[in-house]
A and B are shown apart, each in its own frame.
Chain A
Amino acid sequence: MAVATAPTTSRGQRTHKIHVTVNGVPHDVEVEARTLLVHFLRENLNMTGTHIGCDTTNCGACTVLLNGRAVKSCTVFAVQADQATVATVEGLEKDGKLHPIQEGFHQEHGLQCGFCTAGMMMTAVAFLATNPKPTELQIREAISGNLCRCTGYVNIVKSIDHAARVMRETAEGKA
């Protein structure tokens, strides 16, 4: 692969210093403009929990939260995350305690090979934050950008419903 060597202009540059907070940890890293967010996570930060499935914006295996929104990290440049927060699957567990969504996938057998699971869970976390009491149809719509080739989705839907229930109960307990 030929590496372009054209000089940078004064305004646009090929490499950029970015400040990104990933799962609460700030990072200051220099990246090429063309570095995709998923490669930044996997290769610069060695956080390989976020998967690359299709690399063509179709499967959702690479889903992370960018400023709280679920996005396909294979279709966002790392430079776009400058000054932003990113949440990945590695940040779900807190102090040795699984996140309710992880508990849900465990309890309801929401995975087989596990390749889609990180993306599924990140989509679900963002979705449940906006819709704490979803119907089955709403769950199915919410994960329609995340492909699973193993489970047939039934147990994934149950897992997300399980998490929603647990999170509601916890919220009520606190109130």
Chain B
Amino acid sequence: MIPASFEYAVARDVADAIQLLGSSGGEGKVLAGGQSLIPLMKFRLAQPGLLVDINRVKGLSDIRENGELRIGALVREADLDMNAIVRERYPILVDTTRVIADPLVRNMATIGGNLAHADPANDHPATMLALRASVVARGPKGERVIPIDEFFVDTFTTVLAPDEILTEIRIPKRPAGGGGAYLKLERKVGDFAIAGVAAMVVMDEKGRIAAASIGVTNAGPTAIRARKAEDILRGQSPDDKTIAAAAAAAAGESKPWSDLRGPAEYKLDVIRVLTQRAIRKAVARATGGK
């Protein structure tokens, strides 16, 4: 399959990319890892007039932890997986990246592309919701920082303007007593999720859940936050009854649809079970299990 003809330009830097996109009259698209965009173009579901290749832009591939964890938009999944800070302190990100596609796709696919693509089946959105991340975007009018809760609008739609570039993802530094986990059920290795659940908890000294956040993959037109489940967990000790109630709430807030990956009823139960397991794993990590 051959994509429709298009113009191609290599952006030298972010300003150049913004300018190129602006000059394309809305016809331009950013090319990052290409692992979602190129398949869409081959099926001619996407026919951009101009591709702005940002792969050669410097400074978008760093991972740093100062006041917060900052991940450049061009960081490839394979590099996220191998990063020492991430491996040591953010195992939820390792959980997530390792279940995305397969090692070949992960050698190209970028974390920025995974969010900008806004596919509810993508795995990073739920994890970023749980991590209370924000997304940095740069456009002709300058830079803005967008809380992840406000980033996803609809399937394949974010608040990014056509000439805005996602440059960085910012994640609050893991607090003392904090831990998180992402769990996904897939039909076969490399497939998109039947469902996936990301859970983050912060435990207080008394062993209660001081704060919790939960994100769900493939539970509606965008990844969702299970706020009712979060409310149930807050202030409680993580006993079986509390976790079961939170998991039931998370399923109640989810709106999966029936498709080849299973009927909606089945997926709701998958979400319920994965939520329980993700909370338990997050609590275990928060209380010393790394």
Contact = CB atoms under 8 A, between A and B. Distances in A.
Contacts of B24: 9, 12
A144 B108 contact: no
Contact of B6 (A34, A71, A76): A34
A145 B78 CA distance: 13
Contacts of A102: none
Interface string B18-59: 001001100000010011001101100000011111010000
Contacts of A11: 7, 9, 20, 23
Contact of B190 (A14, A80, A145): A145
Interface in A1-36: 3-4, 6, 8-9, 11-14, 16, 32-34, 36
A80 B189 contact: no
Most buried by B among A11, A77, A141, A142: A11
A12 B50 contact: yes
Contacts of B260: none
A51 interface: no
B4 A4 contact: yes
B104 A71 contact: yes
Nearest to B38: A75
Interface residues of B, number: 36
Nearest to A56: B39
A87 interface: no
Contact of A77 (B38, B102, B105): B38
B104 A70 contact: yes
Contact of A12 (B7, B35, B42): B7
Nearest to A143: B103
A56 B36 CA distance: 10
A71 B106 CA distance: 9
Interface in A89-114: none
B104 A12 contact: no
B23 A34 contact: no
Nearest to A6: B49
A9 B189 CA distance: 43
B22 to A, nearest CB: 11
B108 A34 contact: no
A2 to B, nearest CB: 9
A33 B6 contact: yes
A159 interface: no
B103 A16 contact: no
Interface in A69-93: 69-72, 75-77, 79-80, 82
A144 B53 CA distance: 28
B8 A12 contact: yes
A117 interface: no
A12 B189 contact: no
Contact of A141 (B3, B10, B42, B103): B103
Nearest to A82: B10
A69 B6 CA distance: 26
A5 to B, nearest CB: 9
A57 interface: yes
Contacts of B41: 34
B66 interface: no
Contacts of A79: 8, 53
A32 B5 contact: yes
A50 interface: no
8 contacts: A12-B20, A14-B8, A33-B5, A63-B104, A70-B107, A80-B31, A145-B101, A145-B103
5 pairs of A and B residues whose beta carbons are closest in the complex: A145-B102, A12-B7, A33-B8, A145-B104, A4-B5
